[in-house]
Structure 1
């Protein structure tokens, strides 16, 4: 697969670990990961944003592994936050998880299905 991060010179630079666009060619597999929520496999929701965000990324990792993929295969991530005050912590935790990978990304501030959930993250991966 050929993958290229695109950050056009005549548009704003990305701020914080993402690409303005990601071009993929010659891929074999696309995986669309539904919104992952901060619920553990024993149906518990942790307290606090940091614990919930780390659990969401573990849940994404589990879906990727089940598909035979890894976080390095992520090409698009959309994060839904319940409150803009979580933006900085979200960026830090996401950066810890993604490392050098810089997928295309959106962050949306909105109401989330269950009021206990402070975020939800969906993703697209390609190989």
Structure 2
């Protein structure tokens, strides 16, 4: 097996030495997505909007890889305030139809560019 780098202009470019996603065999590993709008390279201040944009970025990357949100196996969610947990859950849940991926959510001290949320994913190809 060999790895394949996944990249799309419909999600923000990596802001460091990493790929938007890597496919290895039948598995796609999506790097943590902060809520940057791909066109403007800016983010909203509201955690609800930030969660939605992070998920939209993941959706665009998976689409580029020929996969979809329904094929996500696991997500990791990083928030700067666990007080936002219910809001993040509400938006996150709206991207799935009931069969939710495995998941971990943790509070962190800080995220890149001052984001309030970052989400990564592992999906089937």
1:49-100 CA deviation, whole Å, 9 max, x = no partner?
0111100010000110010001000001000011011100011111111221
Which of the numbers 56, 65, 68 marks the counterpart of 2:66? 68
1:85-119 CA deviation, whole Å, 9 max, x = no partner?
11000111111112213111100111233362000
RMSD after superposition = 1.3
Q: Is the 8 A contact 1:112 1:119 kept in 2?
A: no
The number of equivalent residue pairs is 100
Find the aligned partners of 1:101 and 1:117 in 2 and give their Cα distance: 28
Q: Is the 8 A contact 1:38 1:117 kept in 2?
A: yes
1:37 aligns with 2:34: yes
Q: 2:9 corresponds to which residue?
A: none
Find the aligned partners of 2:29 and 2:94 in 1 and give their Cα distance: 22
Runs of 4+ in 1 over 3 A off after TM superposition: none
> Greater relative contact order (Cα 8 A, min sep 6): structure 1 or 2?
1
The normalised TM-score by structure 1 is 0.74
**Within-5 A mapping of 1:92-111:** 92-111=90-109
Unaligned runs of 5+ in 1: 1-27
Q: Is the 8 A contact 2:80 2:111 kept in 1?
A: no
Q: Is the 8 A contact 1:81 1:110 kept in 2?
A: yes
1:90 aligns with 2:94: no
Q: 1:4 corresponds to which residue?
A: none
Question: Which structure's CA Rg is the greater one?
Answer: 1
Q: 1:55 corresponds to which residue?
A: 53
